[in-house]
Amino acid sequence: MTVVNQDAAPIRFEGAFIGVLLSGGALAGMAQMAIVPALPQLGTHFADGGDGTFIAQQVMTVAGPAIAVGGPLLGWLSGFIGKRNVLLITSLVYAIAGIAGAYAPDFWTLIFSRILLGLACGGMTAAGMGLLADYYSGPRRDRLIGWVSVIGGGGTLISLLAAGALVENIGWRASFGLYLVGLLMFLVAMPAVPRIPAGGAVAHGGGGSVLPAAGYLVMLVILSIVLNMIAVQGVFLLHEEGYTSPTVQAIVLDVMTVGTMIGAYAFGHLRPRLSYASMLALTWALLGLGMMGFALAQGIVAISLFAFIAGLGAGLVTPSHQSAVLGVVQPSANAKAMGFALGAIFVGLMINPFIVKPLREAMGFQSAFAAIGAAALVGCAAALLWRIRGGKRAPLPAH
């Protein structure tokens, strides 16, 4: 079976190869979420008289900055040692660092293992997306990019359910066993990922520049700040409005995740029909409507509906910008560019609390959500104006 990119070397086990590339999204989602059900018990275990809740939150969130650093850094390194080697090494480190958390003798050892996990996750995702861009092009590449996000959302949901069952029946340490999926990826990738790079090329010594994609990366940071509103701030708004049940709160977040998966799937069908400006306008519109509704709606059903709408917009963000970035950088910079795109998403996630805090203190959670939603709708109007004034002639970059 041949690949879409005619410059690429033939793939012997293409089904397994595609499976490895698409699995990166799921493993990235698991990096932080697989231990969420274990956090209360974990915090109690490591508290030693301190603030167990704060300790547990640190254990969960420290992987995020590590992913933001690991993506660009190891994406750049793949230009020297090859994407296949980076993918194999990082998938193995992902498994080892992940399971190490179950045996960490103290808090700082656990934190170190989580940092290693995040770095490995960033490199694995950058290398995997770089390989996808090397071997596939055009509409098929865009569909596969969308499926990475779809499977990432599904992996997050499944890992949460599996971790909950493991914690309940075995204990908090058992949830770390889910990270052994990295070993499975390593074993499948060994025969599935071709040893000869696309076109028979050797490593490119760090690859080309990512500067042509700078505008898309900045926009990705801004969008990430908004799309993470419900994930980061939503539980607090729900609690403020009287929805204090963790189960109810989890259902709302799950509904948004389903919306995100559908939005990512839809990208592959929308991509050939919409310019970048049109896609951006649609994304901002869905995010803005979702945020405004989430803030102002009454009743959990209505709130969940608007969370779903916001999820549709969130699902378009990553694949549309990954596709745009890949369209403007040199092929030798694919992995590095995907690393920067991954980093941009996590930078937006980390900035979100600092943006929302002054708004929340000045006007309250509900008004802060509404203000962010209104800003997103302004972004939609700006994107539509851009399309009318010239963005119409600027489709997502050709492949």
Output the CA–CA distances (angstroms, integers) from residue 104 to 155, 302, 355, in the order listed.
25, 43, 34
CA–CA separation, 352 and 19 (whole Å): 32
User: Is the domain 9-192 a CATH 1.20.1250.20 member?
Assistant: yes
Which residues make up the CATH 1.20.1250.20 domain(s) of the chain? Answer: 9-192, 207-399
Q: CB of 71 within 8 A of CB of 338?
A: yes
Q: Which overall architecture, per CATH, does domain 207-399 show?
A: Up-down Bundle (1.20)
Q: What is the pLDDT along the chain (399 residues), one digit of tens a residue?
A: 344 444 445 677 788 899 998 888 888 888 877 887 777 787 777 777 566 666 776 777 788 889 888 888 998 888 888 889 999 999 999 999 999 988 988 888 989 999 999 999 999 999 999 899 888 888 888 889 889 888 888 888 888 788 888 888 888 888 899 999 999 999 999 999 987 665 444 444 556 788 899 999 999 999 999 998 888 788 788 878 888 777 787 788 889 989 999 999 999 889 888 888 899 999 999 999 999 999 998 899 999 999 999 999 999 999 999 999 988 988 888 888 898 998 898 888 888 888 888 888 888 888 988 999 999 999 999 999 888 876 544 444 544
Q: CB of 260 within 8 A of CB of 230?
A: no
pLDDT at position 3 is 46
The pTM for the full model equals 0.81
pLDDT at position 398 is 41
107 Rama class: left (phi>0) / alpha (psi -120 to 50) / beta: alpha
Q: For the chain, how many residues are written?
A: 399
Q: With CA atoms as reference, report the closest residue to 185 among 33, 75, 24.
A: 24
Q: CB of 137 within 8 A of CB of 399?
A: yes
pLDDT at position 357 is 84
Q: Is 10 helix (H, G, I), strand (E, B) or coil?
A: coil
Q: Which amino acid is at 259?
A: G
* Structure-block tokens of residue 245: 């049940």
DSSP type of residue 398: P
